[in-house]
Chains A and B, each alone.
Chain A
Amino acid sequence: MPHTQHEFANRTVNSCRGFHWIPSLQHSPCGPRTNVETHEGKYSANKASEVQKRSFGSAATQIQRNPAYSELTSDDVSYFKSILGDNGVVQDEDRIAVANVDWMGKYRGASQLLLLPKSTVEVSKILSYCNTRRLAVVPQGGNTGLVGGSVPVYDEVIVSLAGMDKIISFDNINGILTCEAGCVLENLSTFVENEGFIMPLDLGAKGSCHIGGNISTNAGGLRFIRYGSLHGNVLGLEAVLADGTILDMLTTLRKDNTGYDLKHLFIGSEGSLGVVTKIAVLTPAKLPSTNVAFLSCNDYTSCQKLLLAARRNLGEILSAFEFMDNHCIDLAMRHLEGVQNPLPASQTKFYILIETTGSDESYDKTKLEGFLLRSMEDGLVADGVIAQDISQASNFWRIREGISEASVKVGAVYKYDLSIPVEKLYDIVEEMRCRLGDNAEVLGYGHLGDGNLHLNILSSKYDDNRLAQIEPFVYEWTSAQRGSISAEHGLGLMKAEKIHYSKSPEAVQLMASIKKLLDPNSILNPYKVLPQSVL
Chain B
Amino acid sequence: MKILVAVKRVVDYAVKVRVKPDRTGVETANVKMSMNPFCEIAVEEALRLREAGAAAEVVAATIGPAQSADTLRTALAMGADRAVHVLHDPDPARPLLPLAVAKILRAVALQEKPGLVILGKQAIDDDCNQTGQMLAGLLQWPQGTFASKVLLDKEKQKATVEREVDGGIETICLKLPAVITTDLRLNQPRYATLPNIMKAKSKVIKKVTPEDLNVDIRSDMEVIEVTEPPKRKAGVILSSVDELLDKLKNEARVL
Q: Report whether A385 and B194 are in contact in the complex, using a CB–CB cutoff of 8 Å.
A: yes
Contacts A340-B188, A389-B34: A394 and B195 contacting too (C-beta < 8 A)?
no
Which chain B residues lie closer than 8 Å to A389 at the CB level?
Answer: 12-14, 32, 34-35, 37, 40
Say whether A388 contacts B34, CB under 8 Å.
yes
Contact (Cβ within 8 A) A392 B12? no
Q: Once the chains are docked, how many angstroms separate the CA of A361 from the CA of B28?
A: 13
The answer to whether A386 touches B192 (Cβ under 8 A) is: yes
Report if A9 contacts B (CB, 8 A): no
Given contacts A390-B13, A390-B14, contact A376 B32 (CB under 8 A): no
Closest to B33 in A: A361
What mask results when residues 355 to 386 of chain A are scored 1 for a CB within 8 Å of chain B, else 0?
Answer: 00000011000000100110010000101111
The answer to whether the Cβ of B74 comes within 8 Å of any Cβ in the partner chain is: yes
A258 at the interface (CB under 8 A from B): no
Q: A340-B188, A362-B70 are in contact. Are A390 and B194 (CB under 8 A)?
A: no
Please report which residues of chain A, range 333-365, place their CB below 8 angstroms from some CB of chain B when the two chains form the complex: 340, 342-343, 361-362
Query: Which of B30, B35, B74 counts the most chain A CB atoms within 10 A?
Result: B30
Q: A373-B197, A373-B198 are in contact. Are A392 and B15 (CB under 8 A)?
A: no
User: What's the nearest-Cβ distance from chain A to residue B213, in Å?
Assistant: 27
- B193 contacts the other chain (CB 8 A): yes
Complex Cα–Cα for A99 and B12 (A): 40
List A233-269 residues whose CB lies under 8 Å from chain B. none
A-facing residues in B1-31 (Cβ within 8 Å): 12-15, 30-31
Per the CB 8 Å criterion, the residue count for chain A at the interface is: 26
Give Cα A372–Cα B14 distance, bound, in whole angstroms: 25
Cα distance A389–B70 in the bound complex, in angstroms: 12
Q: Is the interface of B mostly helix, strand, loop or mixed?
A: mixed
Residues of A close to B14: CB separation below 8 A: 389-391, 394
Judge whether A387 is part of the interface by a CB distance below 8 angstroms: yes
The smallest C-beta distance from B28 to any residue of chain A, in angstroms, reads: 12
Q: Chain B contacts of A390 at CB under 8 A?
A: 12-15, 32, 34
Contact-residue size bin, chain B (C-beta under 8 Å from the other chain):
20 to 34
| B153-201 contacts to A (CB < 8 Å) | 188, 191-195, 197-198
A342 touches B194 (CB 8 A): no
Is A288 part of the binding interface, using a Cβ–Cβ cutoff of 8 Å?
Answer: yes
Partner of B193, one of A289, A383, A392: A383
Q: Which residues of A contact B197 (CB under 8 A)?
A: 369, 373, 386
Tell me the smallest distance from the CB of B16 to a CB of chain A, in Å: 9
Quick one: closest B residue to A375, CB to CB? B194
1/0 per residue B197-233: CB within 8 Å of A?
Answer: 1100000000000000000000000000000000000
Q: Are B192 and A385 in contact (CB under 8 A)?
A: yes
Contacts of A361 in B (CB 8 A): 32
Residue among B12, B30, B70, B194 with max Cβ neighbours from chain A (10 Å) = B194
- In the complex, what residue of chain B is closest to A376 when comparing beta carbons? B194
| Across-interface contacts of B194 in A (CB, < 8 A) | 295, 372-373, 376, 381, 383-386
Question: Are the CB atoms of A392 and B32 closer together than 8 Å?
Answer: no
Which residues of chain B come closer than 8 Å to A388, judged between CB atoms? 34-35, 40, 74, 77, 191-192
Contacts of A372 in B (CB 8 A): 194
Q: A342 — which chain B residues lie within 8 A by C-beta?
A: 191
What's the Cα separation between A343 and B195 when bound, in Å? 12
Closest 8 CB pairs of A and B: A389-B34, A390-B14, A385-B191, A384-B194, A288-B30, A388-B74, A390-B12, A385-B193
B residues near A (Cβ < 8 Å) are: 12-15, 30-32, 34-35, 37, 40, 70, 74, 77, 188, 191-195, 197-198
21 contacts across the A-B interface (CB closer than 8 A):
A288-B30, A288-B32, A290-B32, A294-B191, A342-B191, A373-B194, A373-B198, A376-B195, A385-B194, A386-B77, A386-B194, A386-B197, A388-B77, A388-B191, A389-B37, A390-B12, A390-B14, A390-B32, A390-B34, A391-B37, A392-B191
Question: A383-B194, A389-B35 known; 4 other A-B pairs, CB under 8 Å?
Answer: A372-B194, A385-B193, A388-B34, A389-B32
